[in-house]
């Protein structure tokens, strides 16, 4: 009789390596290790061999970079998503893709459960499990960090390291990097360790070796660089005249943004589980793309459509952050976003300089900007009669005048 199977989201780090071995022992199951290649670069080197040595019966390392860029990053950027005014959702948007592929593998392999190494204090546990609930509700989800028996066995990293050494698990645990990272095509994040002190200056020159994707603005080139992004229906399709697919766009913009020290964010954010946490992010290409897209919209999107879409940005960003990518409300908002992008076509020129993304021109064959109407000089088309503004202002002032009539001079309301 064949053993039960569990699909584990595997990174090769200390936590998931220990979890792989512990799951195998505890559940007497075959563990299928799954890693999504979503742009981690050299972090994937030797991963398959490591997983097999740790006890995995099978290993999947799937290249999902193109799907990540096309079906997750680009739709999210069309929506203008920005969490709490700063975070471009680099980790958040990757989780539903990883979980989606996990459940596909679980079904193909006949696994009864999926497992992950997310802690009970973070957002990722929610993102993985809500995706699984939406796509494969029949699967069990095993979250070792929420199990008493696992936490009792591993109260700290010392116990995990000892366990790994006793079983010959090839892991590297060191104090050289006292923080955790998460890297993908959109960004890299840093948290925990010394970053748990919100007064710690992560931008100080002494901490520069922490960063991976970008130089500091101080070390960026002293000369600005111009870049042109071409858009079709809200998606970037070319850079400096070179046609690129979504993956190519992200790779090129990451290179440019990193060179000029663009996209570093240090913030204290509100986790879905209720606590505040401090995170440092590098999102070089995403910052350029976000800025360019917004400038393209300013020229081509109808005012009321833009304001309606903008009113939904906090909701959309929260849905992504909190793990509701596959929820009916996110899909409904996305349909509105797609409709809003049908004329977001043209070219944006930007100047990149020492951490800044500066607008340097925008044009479109479907521009809604009419220089003849907007000019402060005489309108040759006579499309706008300035006298019309008198009645416009009078009508908009009517309710204010009516309110003023029942207010006293201090604005506290009429007596009696």
Full pLDDT tens readout for the chain, 416 residues: 678 999 999 999 999 999 999 999 999 999 999 999 999 999 899 999 999 999 999 999 999 999 999 999 999 999 999 999 999 999 999 999 999 999 999 999 999 999 999 999 999 999 999 999 999 999 999 999 999 999 999 998 889 989 999 999 877 655 556 678 899 999 999 998 899 999 999 999 999 999 999 999 999 999 999 999 999 999 999 999 999 999 999 999 999 999 999 999 999 999 999 999 999 999 999 999 999 999 999 999 999 999 999 999 999 999 999 999 999 999 999 999 999 999 999 999 999 999 999 999 999 999 999 888 887 787 777 888 889 999 999 999 999 999 998 876 555 655 55
Handedness of CA 66, 70, 72, 73 (dihedral sign): positive
Q: For residue 82, count other CB atoms closer than 10 A to its CB.
A: 18
Q: Which of 63, 157, 180, 394 is catalytic?
A: 180
What local confidence, expressed as pLDDT, does residue 175 receive? 52
Quote the strand ranges of 19-100, DSSP E: 29-37, 58-63
User: Is 124 in the active site?
Assistant: yes
Q: Which of 11, 101, 124, 277 is catalytic?
A: 124
pTM equals: 0.94
What is the Cα–Cα distance from 142 to 112, expressed in whole angstroms?
A: 10
User: Is 15 in the active site?
Assistant: yes
Q: What DSSP character marks residue 30?
A: E
What is the Cα–Cα distance from 141 to 136, expressed in whole angstroms?
A: 10
Identify the H or E element spanning 335.
helix 328-340
- For residue 278 the two structure tokens come to 């401090």
SS3 of residue 185 by DSSP: coil
Q: Which of 30, 65, 95, 278 is catalytic?
A: 95
């Amino acid at each position: 009789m064949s053993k039960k199977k569990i699909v584990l989201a595997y990174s090769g780090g200390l936590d998931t390596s220990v979890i792989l071995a512990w799951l195998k022992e505890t559940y007497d199951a075959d563990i299928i290790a799954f890693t999504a290649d979503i742009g981690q670069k050299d972090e994937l080197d030797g991963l398959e061999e490591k997983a097999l040595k740790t006890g995995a019966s099978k290993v999947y390392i799937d290249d999902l970079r193109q799907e990540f860029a096309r079906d997750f990053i680009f739709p999210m950027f069309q929506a203008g998503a920005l969490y709490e005014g700063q975070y471009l959702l680099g980790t958040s948007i990757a989780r539903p893709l990883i979980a989606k592929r996990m459940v596909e593998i679980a079904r193909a392999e006949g696994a009864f459960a999926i497992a992950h190494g997310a802690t009970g204090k973070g957002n990722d546990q929610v993102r993985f499990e809500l995706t699984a609930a939406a796509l494969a509700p029949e699967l069990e989800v095993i979250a070792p960090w929420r199990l008493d028996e696992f936490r009792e066995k591993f109260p700290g990293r010392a116990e995990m390291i000892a366990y790994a050494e006793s079983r010959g698990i090839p892991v590297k645990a060191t104090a050289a990097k006292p923080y955790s990272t998460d890297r993908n095509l959109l960004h890299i994040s840093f948290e925990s360790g010394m970053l748990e002190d919100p007064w710690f200056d992560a931008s100080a020159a002494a901490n520069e070796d922490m960063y991976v994707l970008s130089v500091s603005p101080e070390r960026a080139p002293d000369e600005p660089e111009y870049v042109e992004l071409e858009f079709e229906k809200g998606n970037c399709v070319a850079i400096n005249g070179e046609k690129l697919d979504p993956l190519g766009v992200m790779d090129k913009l990451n290179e440019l943004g990193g060179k000029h020290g663009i996209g570093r964010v240090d913030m204290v954010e509100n986790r879905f589980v209720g606590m505040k946490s401090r995170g440092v992010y590098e999102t070089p290409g995403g910052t350029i793309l976000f800025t360019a897209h917004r400038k393209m919209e300013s020229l081509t999107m109808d005012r009321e459509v833009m304001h309606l879409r903008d009113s939904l940005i906090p909701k959309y960003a929260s849905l992504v952050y909190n793990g509701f990518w596959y929820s009916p409300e996110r899909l409904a908002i996305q349909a509105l976003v797609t409709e809003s992008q049908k004329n977001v076509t043209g070219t944006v020129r930007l100047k990149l300089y020492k951490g800044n993304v500066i607008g340097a021109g925008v044009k479109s064959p479907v521009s809604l900007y009419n220089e003849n109407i907007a000019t402060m000089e005489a309108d040759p088309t006579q499309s706008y009669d300035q006298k019309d503004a008198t009645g416009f202002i009078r009508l908009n002032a009517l309710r204010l005048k009516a309110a003023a009539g029942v207010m006293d001079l201090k604005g506290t309301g009429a007596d009696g």
